[in-house]
Every structure is written in C-alpha cells, then in structure tokens.
Amino acid sequence: MQIDLFIPCFIDQLYPNTAWNTIKILEKAGCTVNYNPNQTCCGQPSFNSGYWKETTELAKKFVKDFPSNNPIVSPSASCTGFIKNNYEKVIDIKDVDYSNALRVKRNVVELTDFLVNRLKITDFNAKFFHKVTYHDSCSALREYGIKNEPRILLSKVEGLELIEMKEAETCCGFGGTFSAKFKGISTAMVQQKVESALETGAEYIVGTESSCLMNIAGYINKNKLPIKVIHIADIISQF
C-alpha cells in the first residue's frame, strides 16, 4: 500500500527518531512510504490561539502538500484530529481548496488507528522488557477518538507489562499555549499525572503525542524522578 507520511512539528524538530521509527513500522507492515519534505505545520497551534487567518494559509498549504488520494499517516492523533475536525471551518466552502480539504479529511489517519483498524496488523514481534503505563492524551481520546488501539499494540509487545494508572484520561496540563499562559495550573496537572504513573511502579509513561510527553518529561527531569516517557512508535519499532 502507498501511504503519505505526515510528521508533525514537535516530532520533526525535537523527536526525529520517532519519525524514523514510524517509517520503520510502516515499511514492516508492507507500506511504501512517501514523504514530502515541503510539508510544514498543519495549523493547529495558530488555530488554538485564535489566529484563524494564519491557520487558513497553513491549511491550504497542507492540502497542496498532500495532493494524492493515499492515506496520510501520522504518529499524532492531536494533529490528525485537528485536521479532521477543523479544516472545513478554516477553508471557505467557496474556496477552490475546499474539496481538497475534504479529501485530506478523509485520508488523514493516526498511526495506531491505521495499523489496528485499517491494516489489521497488531503484532510486529517487538520486544520491550519494561513495565509501562499509558497516558490517554486529551486530543487523542476526545478529539480523534482512540483508546483501545494503542493498548492493543502494546499488549502484543514481548516483555512489556502494561499497568494502568488511575485517572489515565486526565489531562497532563500541556494544552499547547495553556502550559505557558497558566503555568501554575499546568504544573499542578502534570504533577498529578506523574504521581499517578509513579504509583503503578512503571518505568515508562507511553503516549501517542510527543507534545504531551515533552511536557511530562519536563516535570520528570526537573524533579529528577525515576520514570521516563516514550512514544508508542519507539516501542513498536523495537523488532
């Protein structure tokens, strides 16, 4: 299967190994991966900050950067959820790019959703001999709608023990600019999240969103706590 790869800003700039591991997984699943190096931001940060005009420009560029009818696979439910739910809002129905926005909306898909529900592949013979707990990111759970898919993939990893934390669905406090504008509230939220993870005895907090993991890692590193974060693609790719 031919697929187009969309790598969000956080992964491109801060976690490039996650991008390479995503390619590794998709190729093992039998996909031919196409990557357009001209791709940039999907527009989510500007949209969430109220800059809809700027978001429209980014959205129109995005649909031009993905002109085919291939699945557009991304290791981020946050960005894919934003595209699915908001491109019709920022591109006018009378605009020539509106039909392209609908095409992209149909084609864009988060990585774990693509593997489990479209390819029907859940076992990559991955090995990861650690105890982990899973963080349900707000955007992944509520905007995109994934919950079981990451857990199904983790259940097939040899040596991995998944221990559910309490309030796994509670926000980590990132929320894009929320963590900068409301630092005190954000810090309290991420503290609660990390404490819940530590109570499980897990060695890693796993997620689908690098932005959330970055926020959680910042608190962990500042307080020198005995737990780490890892993107699910970095686990599944260990075969």
* Residue 197 host element (H or E): helix 183-199
CATH node for 131-236: 3.40.50.1860
pLDDT at 131: 98
pLDDT at 87: 95
With CA atoms as reference, report the closest residue to 9 among 162, 206, 172, 210.
Answer: 210
* Residue 18 host element (H or E): helix 16-28
pLDDT at 44: 92
What whole-number distance in Å separates Cα of residue 132 and Cα of residue 86? 33
The reported pTM is 0.93
pLDDT tens track, the chain, 239 positions: 999 999 999 899 999 999 999 999 999 999 999 999 999 999 998 998 889 999 999 999 999 999 999 999 999 999 999 999 999 999 999 998 999 999 999 999 999 999 999 999 999 999 999 999 999 999 899 999 999 999 999 999 999 999 999 989 888 888 777 777 777 888 899 999 999 999 999 999 999 999 999 999 999 999 999 999 999 999 999 99
What whole-number distance in Å separates Cα of residue 192 and Cα of residue 16? 28
What whole-number distance in Å separates Cα of residue 149 and Cα of residue 33? 21
What whole-number distance in Å separates Cα of residue 197 and Cα of residue 128? 18
What whole-number distance in Å separates Cα of residue 40 and Cα of residue 226? 35
What whole-number distance in Å separates Cα of residue 152 and Cα of residue 111? 13
pLDDT at 12: 94
Q: Can you give the residue ranges of every domain in the chain?
A: 2-118, 131-236
32-34 sheet: strands from edge to edge: 32-34, 2-5, 72-74, 108-110
What whole-number distance in Å separates Cα of residue 236 and Cα of residue 239? 7
